[in-house]
Amino acid sequence: MAATCEISSVFSNYFSAMYTSEDPTLASVPPAAAFGADDLVLALGSPQMPLEGPEKASWSGEQPQLWSKAQVLDWISYQVEKHKYDASTIDLSRCDMDGAALCRCAPEELRLVFGPLGDQLYAQLWDLTSSFPDELSWIMELLEKDSMALQEPLGPGPFDQGSPFAQEMLEDCRQPSPFYPGSFSAGAPSPGSSDVSTTGTGASQSPPASDSGGSDVDLDATDSKPFSGAGFEDCKKGDPKHGKRKRGRPRKLSKESRGCLEGTKSKHAPRGTHLWEFIRDILIHPELNEGLMKWENRQEGVFKFLRSEAVAQLWGQKKKNSSMTYEKLSRAMRYYYKREILERVDGRRLVYKFGKNSSGWQEEEVVGRRN
């Protein structure tokens, strides 16, 4: 049963990480344990720069959740070095944690331990975890093993706490569901690619099993705008309100400046995740988005943003774009009107409706795909 509880807590932590900011108490503070501060000092003394040189850092190429304490240290020291942060201000005793514990930390916790660097760490960590296509798969693997070994229903765990979706979620997990790791939104036929023909060919999108699916699985702590830290803000944009600027989208920051936003990850985030699919996936997985959006009329495909900025942040995370806002997201949404992927819902704020060129959101489709 211990394993069961552990897995339940893994889930719990995963979800608390998703919505951390909402309730910071959900995530546990990493153990302040008897840890040799010297270790960190040592590590800090010789930070590994994974992106440079032939030698890779111990942590690079491995999922953060699986990092050992040493790898966590390596990573922290790398970040400290990278951001020229004064390590002496860090509470070293609280750095004694493995990757799993690190991943469970809420932004505020990281801020508590690492000060302003906490936001950077959180962002980087998110980047790293989301760069692995199957970030839930490790949980699923555990689940699979667990259920095989125990052959008994999961007992009441943290996951049980008032989440009406827990059971459904677990059931889903046991099936080769298209919604879960590896093939998330790919489960849907991606009309954006084949059905949508109003503009152009509509070809070449959403290859099955591509990153596209990541959508919901990528959900993470956002509600409270996890990347709103001042330092991060500085990093992501300059000073936009300095007089008039030329119309249109300005050039992006140089690779160097972007370095502060990105950790190790492949450059080519495969195309495939379209905004509307992302939205749809959130909607059809209430267990993953509780409180972000809701159906106003499921039959008609009418939905509403409850926490517009949070959704925008999620989308931004998905696209590795921390400066995404609801305003920008909504602009993209409005472009869908022309293509009839979405339909206007006049007079209602934050309300949209799926159009005839969208699919995969109808209940029958969803149910069909789950079976």
Binding site for DNA (CB under 7 A): 192-193, 196, 199-205, 207, 237, 240, 244-245, 247-252, 267-271, 274-276, 308-309, 315-316, 319, 321, 323-324, 326-332, 334-337, 339, 344, 346-347, 349-351
Closest to 226 measured CA to CA, from 217, 236, 216:
236
Q: Which is nearer to DNA, 96 or 220 (CB)?
A: 220
What stretches of 69-181 show up as alpha helix (H) in DSSP?
69-82, 99-104, 107-114, 117-130, 137-150, 166-174
61: number of Cβ within 10 Å:
10
> What minimum distance in Å lies between the beta carbon of 345 and DNA?
7
74: number of Cβ within 10 Å:
22
Closest to 142 measured CA to CA, from 271, 3, 279, 17:
3
Cβ within 8 Å of residue 171, ≥6 positions away = none
> What minimum distance in Å lies between the beta carbon of 360 and DNA?
14
> What minimum distance in Å lies between the beta carbon of 277 and DNA?
8
Bridge partners, 294 (sequence order): 304
Residue found by looking up tokens 């517009």 in the block:
308
- Residues 74, 264 contacting (CB under 8 angstroms): no
What is d(CA 289, CA 314) in angstroms, rounded to the nearest whole number?
10
> What minimum distance in Å lies between the beta carbon of 182 and DNA?
16
> What minimum distance in Å lies between the beta carbon of 221 and DNA?
19
Q: What is the DSSP code string of 201-255? A: ---S---TTSGGGHHHHT--S-TT-TT--HHHHHHH---TTSS---SSPPPPPPH
> What minimum distance in Å lies between the beta carbon of 308 and DNA?
5
- Find the helix or strand (DSSP H, E) in which 343 lies: strand 342-343
Centroid of chain to Cα 18: 8
> What minimum distance in Å lies between the beta carbon of 279 and DNA?
10
> What minimum distance in Å lies between the beta carbon of 212 and DNA?
10
Q: Which is nearer to DNA, 71 or 129 (CB)?
A: 129
> What minimum distance in Å lies between the beta carbon of 191 and DNA?
10
What is d(CA 371, CA 366) in angstroms, rounded to the nearest whole number?
9
Q: Which is nearer to DNA, 8 or 124 (CB)?
A: 124
Bridge partners, 354 (sequence order): 342
Upper half-sphere CA count for residue 155 (Cβ side, 13 Å): 7
